[in-house]
Amino acid sequence: MITATVDTSGFKAFVADLSRMAGKDFAPVLKAEGARVIETAVRYTPAASAKKKDGTAQEEAERRNRSFGDGPEIYVAKRDGKAWWLEKDDRYVNPKKPRISEQVPHFHRMNDPTRRWNAQRWSAYRAMEGLRQQAIKDDVKRIQDERDAIKKARGLSKNSWYQIGQTLRLEMRGIPKYVTGAVPSTGKVYQNGKGSEHADGKAFFLLFQNSYPALASPKRPKMDGHKILQRAITTRIKAFENNLRHGVYNDMKARVQRHPGVFVTP
């Protein structure tokens, strides 16, 4: 679990200065800037890449469903669309070795209008082709469902920060839909992010907790939730200092744009 054990001393001073500039209490300004920190953490957290598969779901399903068991097999050539019936149990006598009987596959072109096949072979082919087509339909749906589930889950790491903002009822802006609507591929929703308000006398602070596994126990440096949160906080402090240095806060419109929820348009 990631808690707010990052260095927040500079952030507290920045919020105090901002609250004096806006003529507001510390608590609402902290919550407004807490929302900006969440937005920044969401932006800095890498999204999982949607698992890419070669070709379309239809092509993949067709590759998978050529045969059933150890019997005959249907193969449809992608280039010219020729449908071949492969019988694996035919007996073949090698002319050079007439005393030796071998089992080798025989290919039969089933969709050649110039060819005619006996009733037994044609019936067996049509029966298996019906099974193959149904299996392809089922596989196409399943494969597409898998891909959709993967896409829906790609924003889960970012969503854990968004959950923190939600529990604190922060007014977050610009969070992508694939983050707000992220759902695990299993369909089961987990509460990975939590936030809480705390007051101790005159002191007021927010506690961020993130238990998303990939961020709490990172295997990659870019997924270190502690560093992501620290970087998001530092970014807000540096932006404030830079704005002060360049006189940005002399413009009321610029104040509102940079600190929504703190300053309001007169």
Residue 90: count of CB within 10 angstroms of its CB: 13
Q: For residue 163, give the nearest of 223, 205, 211 by alpha carbon.
A: 211
pLDDT at 35: 95
Predicted TM-score (pTM) of the model is 0.70
Residue 70 counted as domain residue: yes
- Same-domain pairing of 109 and 45: no
Q: Is 106 helix (H, G, I), strand (E, B) or coil?
A: strand
Last residue of a domain, one of 109, 124, 144: 144
> What is the domain count for the chain?
2
Instruction: Give residue 229's identity as a one-letter amino acid code.
Output: L
pLDDT under 70 in the chain at which residues?
A: 1-6, 50-71, 88-105, 265-266
- Same-domain pairing of 113 and 237: no
Query: Which residues contact residue 139 at a Cβ distance below 8 angstroms, ignoring those fewer than 6 apart?
Result: 57, 60, 61, 64, 65
220 DSSP assignment: S
Q: For residue 218, give the nearest of 228, 206, 204, 209 by alpha carbon.
A: 228
Q: Are 84 and 76 in contact (CB under 8 A)?
A: yes
pLDDT at 203: 84
Residue 162 counted as domain residue: yes
Last residue of a domain, one of 110, 144, 178: 144
- Same-domain pairing of 246 and 159: yes
- Same-domain pairing of 66 and 87: yes
What is the span of the domain harbouring residue 251? Answer: 2-49+154-258
- Same-domain pairing of 254 and 169: yes
- Same-domain pairing of 130 and 178: no
Token code pair at residue 177:
């839909």
- Same-domain pairing of 45 and 159: yes
pLDDT at 54: 53
Residue 263 counted as domain residue: no
- Same-domain pairing of 159 and 253: yes
DSSP 162-211: HHHHHHTT-------HHHHT---TTS-----EEEEEEEETTEEEEEEEE-
Residue 79 counted as domain residue: yes
Q: For residue 37, give the nearest of 210, 246, 265, 154 by alpha carbon.
A: 210
Phi-psi region of 201 (alpha: psi -120 to 50; beta: other; left: phi over 0): left
Helix (H) or strand (E) holding 3: strand 2-3
- Same-domain pairing of 160 and 34: yes
- Same-domain pairing of 162 and 247: yes
Last residue of a domain, one of 113, 144, 175: 144
Residue 38 counted as domain residue: yes
pLDDT at 74: 79
pLDDT at 93: 56
Residue 266 counted as domain residue: no
- Same-domain pairing of 31 and 163: yes
- Same-domain pairing of 115 and 134: yes
